[in-house]
Amino acid sequence: MLPIPQASDSQRDRQVALPPASRFPLTMYLSLARKYRPRTFSDVAVQTHVSNTLRGAIARGRVAHGYLLCGPRGVGKTTLARVLAMALNCENRTPEGEPCGQCASCTRIWGGSASLDVIEIDAASNRGVDDARELRERAMYAPSGDERYKVYIVDEAHMLTREAWNALLKILEEPPPRVVFVFATTEPQKITQTAAPVMSRLQRFDFKRIGTADVRSRLATVLAAEHIEAEPDALMLLARAADGSMRDALSLADQSLSLGDGTLTAQRVRDALGLVPEDEVLAVLDLVAERRAADVFPAVARLADAGADLGLFLGAFGEALRAALAISLGGDGGDLSEALREGLTARASRFTPGDLVRMLTTLMDLEPKFRRSGQQQILLETLLVRFALLDRTVAIEDLLREMGPGGPSGGDGTPAPRPPAGPRSAPLGDAPPPRDGGGSTAPAAADTRRSAAPEPDPRPASVLADAPAPSAPRPRISVAGLTAHWDDIVSRLRAEGRMALAGAVEHAKPVSVSTAGDITLELESTGELFHQPLTTNASEVLSVIGALLSGATHLTVRLADRAADDSPPSRRFTEEGVRRDRLSMLRKKDATLDAAVDALDLELME
Ligand SMILES: [Zn+2]
């Protein structure tokens, strides 16, 4: 339920993660994770495929010189390496290969205290060739006793340099007797890249991610052994927050326990972990379902005022959407608290699976940007507003048209109106019969008022756009109307996936419309590269314009300075034009706003 990046761990690119380690308080008592660290192979949860094999190797005296333990963090790689070291050096080892866990040697190794024969190295801080050479020299010394093994446990092994691996390869090719190397890594593919020859010298084991149910049952066992009662939902929240890491689950349990006495409640876990209350998530979901866009702002402000981590909220909201999707498809939503499951089930009919998928996709697209942003509140608000305004029916029509024989923009080219675009009435989906160019024959009446000197240049209708049927009343085309709709035209093109064309249109400016419907666009002199895409795709631009305004017949594009002579003596700046310029200036100035507008495809209102 907690989204925080853990860059080094490929398993964590899902949005769920843990609070950074720095948030864990230092504890003076023996932490649960430490106290309950396995002492024998059979204690190791979940990874029985590895522990059984290792125990068997010890029992039969067939221990390899090098092991590679791969898997996500917190699943027991280092623990198992230590148990292996204990088993190799135990004075009272069982015939099955289990260490006793109690003798002096076992206790020392288990505690991780300095041992002559077990050396733990963190490759993240000792990755150079010098360290590897030193390691090699040290490895040549015999273990401290005849019966003992020297075990090197190299953590984060993927951090070792190629040179370090080369030095290690020499040891592994001719290993000294009774020396065992155990490499642990979360990213084995990096080792394959830097040290392929080494891989063939190592026995590789892949550890499983620990499922929520296993984490929960282990937590229950540990807390029972501590004589601590816990609510089932408390265990569920801890297990989910741990995201497959037993170590983290126990640390988080410690953290929650340190916050109070008595039964461990779900509320205490939420408080300790800074989890967003599920009520808040459900309330925001309601707000989206009921399209109460305006209520987004106070809702987010309330979260922010309460000190909630908006990243955590976004993660929790994403988890809820995911669970709602599963429920709406007939599943049970996975590991959820009972309260959340009930809340989501009750709301199952309010969203279609398609809506949920779209929201999840949008949310996931935003997530990486969200983490880096210093404007999380704005990003969250705009995202939720967008969800609240999502036009669900139109999306399906959109989809149908995309799949239609004409393909995108092959037909009438009427894009789905973007939700925030207001109450315009674009003719939706009614494929217009080919027309004779709409208003080319109908002289414009009053709407030429703002257009520049009318150019009596009725061009042949060869490039005539397939102007949509004028079944819905659309205002007659004019410079003012075009200018007012310009951003919308850009976002409609974007919505159709015509990013490059949208960019070109964005750089152009309507300067005149003739009575015959001939639109002249002007590009800044620096925008020359947009000339070609605009003229090539003129009919596409015209059809998008046609969805909003009637009577457009032809598109001419010119560059500002080249056309200086032709341009009207004084370029009139309409109110809309000024506003648009100001907006684009604002967008240029404020990168965050710009990113948010792009990411969310929102139209900014004054
Ligand atoms: Zn022992």
Q: Distance from the CA of 82 to the center of ligand 1, in angstroms? A: 12
Q: Distance from the CA of 83 to the center of ligand 1, in angstroms? A: 10
Q: Distance from the CA of 114 to the center of ligand 1, in angstroms? A: 16
Q: β-strand 203-206 against 66-70: which pairing, if any?
A: parallel
The answer to whether residue 205 scores a pLDDT higher than 90 is: yes
Nearest 5 degrees, angle CA 204-CA 209-CA 210?
130
Q: Distance from the CA of 102 to the center of ligand 1, in angstroms? A: 5
Cβ of 178: how many Cβ atoms within 10 Å?
A: 19
Q: Distance from the CA of 281 to the center of ligand 1, in angstroms? A: 50
| 253 against 599, higher pLDDT | 253
Q: Distance from the CA of 61 to the center of ligand 1, in angstroms? A: 17
**What is the side-by-side order of every strand in the sheet holding 518-523?**
508-513, 518-523, 554-559
Tell me if 46-206 shares its fold with 212-273.
Answer: no
Residues 6+ away with beta carbon under 8 Å from 162:
194, 195
Q: Distance from the CA of 41 to the center of ligand 1, in angstroms? A: 12
pLDDT for residue 279: 84
Measured in residues, the chain has a length of 606
CA torsion 511-517-518-524 (nearest 10°) is 20
CA distance 67 to 429: 63
pLDDT for residue 174: 87
CA distance 606 to 594: 15
Q: Distance from the CA of 34 to the center of ligand 1, in angstroms? A: 18
pLDDT for residue 227: 94
Q: Distance from the CA of 78 to the center of ligand 1, in angstroms? A: 18
Exposure string over 294-313, b if 16+ CB within 10 A, otherwise e? ebbeebbeebbeeebbbbbb
The answer to whether residue 326 scores a pLDDT higher than 50 is: yes
The answer to whether residue 382 scores a pLDDT higher than 70 is: yes
Helices then strands, each counted (H, E), the chain = 25, 8
Mean pLDDT of 361-380: 90
Q: Distance from the CA of 153 to the center of ligand 1, in angstroms? A: 19
Tell me the three state secondary structure of residue 597. helix
Q: How confident is the model at residue 525 (pLDDT cuts 50, 70, 90)?
A: low
Query: Which of 224-228, 303-307, 551-555, 566-570 shows the highest mean pLDDT?
Result: 224-228
Q: Distance from the CA of 178 to the center of ligand 1, in angstroms? A: 18
Q: Distance from the CA of 364 to the center of ligand 1, in angstroms? A: 49
| 457 against 46, higher pLDDT | 46
The answer to whether residue 432 scores a pLDDT higher than 70 is: no
pLDDT for residue 182: 95
Q: How confident is the model at residue 49 (pLDDT cuts 50, 70, 90)?
A: very high
HSE of 561 in the Cβ direction (CA atoms, 13 Å)? 5
Mean pLDDT of 492-500: 78
Of 337, 275, 283, the closest CA to residue 306 belongs to 275
Q: How confident is the model at residue 129 (pLDDT cuts 50, 70, 90)?
A: low
Of 95, 163, 94, the closest CA to residue 126 belongs to 163
Can you give the three-state secondary structure of 4-54, one letter per residue?
CCCCCCHHHHCCCCCCCHHHCCCCCCCCHHHHCCCCCHHHCCCCHHHHHHH
| 457 against 272, higher pLDDT | 272
CA distance 36 to 247: 10
What tokens does 21 get? Answer: 């380690």
**What is the side-by-side order of every strand in the sheet holding 203-206?**
118-122, 150-155, 179-185, 66-70, 203-206
Topology (CATH) of 212-273? Helicase, Ruva Protein; domain 3 (1.10.8)
Domain locations along the chain: 46-206, 212-273, 278-390, 445-600
Topology (CATH) of 46-206? Rossmann fold (3.40.50)
Q: Distance from the CA of 111 to the center of ligand 1, in angstroms? A: 13
The answer to whether residue 233 scores a pLDDT higher than 70 is: yes
Residue 92 CA: distances (Å) to CA of 37, 47, 145, 466, 520: 20, 24, 16, 88, 92
Q: For 157-171, 345-359, 445-459, which range has the lowest pLDDT when averaged over its residues?
A: 445-459
Of 480, 506, 483, the closest CA to residue 493 belongs to 506
Q: Distance from the CA of 110 to the center of ligand 1, in angstroms? A: 10
Tell me the three state secondary structure of residue 602. coil
Q: Distance from the CA of 523 to the center of ligand 1, in angstroms? A: 81
Q: Distance from the CA of 202 to the center of ligand 1, in angstroms? A: 26
Q: Distance from the CA of 101 to the center of ligand 1, in angstroms? A: 5
Helix or strand run (H / E) with residue 88: helix 77-89
Q: Distance from the CA of 173 to the center of ligand 1, in angstroms? A: 30
| 147 against 518, higher pLDDT | 518
Model-wide pTM > 0.75: no
Of 191, 208, 163, the closest CA to residue 66 belongs to 191
Q: Distance from the CA of 207 to the center of ligand 1, in angstroms? A: 25
Cβ of 210: how many Cβ atoms within 10 Å?
A: 26
Q: Distance from the CA of 107 to the center of ligand 1, in angstroms? A: 7
Give the residue ranges of DSSP H helices in 353-498: 353-372, 376-389, 392-403, 479-495
Q: Distance from the CA of 81 to the center of ligand 1, in angstroms? A: 15
CA distance 128 to 126: 6
Cβ contact 479:455 at 8 Å? no
Residue-wise pLDDT for 236-250, tens only, equals: 889 988 888 898 999
Mean pLDDT of 514-542: 80
CA distance 509 to 483: 7
The answer to whether residue 225 scores a pLDDT higher than 80 is: yes
Q: Distance from the CA of 604 to the center of ligand 1, in angstroms? A: 70
The answer to whether residue 231 scores a pLDDT higher than 60 is: yes
CA distance 212 to 220: 12
Task: Give domain 278-390's CATH number out of 3.40.50.720, 3.40.120.10, 3.90.480.20, 1.20.272.10.
Answer: 1.20.272.10
pLDDT for residue 540: 84
Q: Distance from the CA of 295 to the center of ligand 1, in angstroms? A: 64
The answer to whether residue 597 scores a pLDDT higher than 60 is: no
pLDDT for residue 482: 86
Q: How confident is the model at residue 435 (pLDDT cuts 50, 70, 90)?
A: very low
Residue-wise pLDDT for 89-120, tens only, equals: 998 999 999 999 999 999 888 887 666 788 88
Mean predicted lDDT score pLDDT of the chain: 76
Considering all CA atoms of the chain, what is the largest pairwise distance in Å, rounded to the nearest integer? Answer: 106
Q: Distance from the CA of 91 to the center of ligand 1, in angstroms? A: 5
CA distance 341 to 347: 10
Cβ contact 425:437 at 8 Å? no
CA distance 233 to 219: 12
pLDDT for residue 280: 87
Q: Distance from the CA of 148 to the center of ligand 1, in angstroms? A: 12
DSSP state of 182: E
Q: Distance from the CA of 58 to the center of ligand 1, in angstroms? A: 14
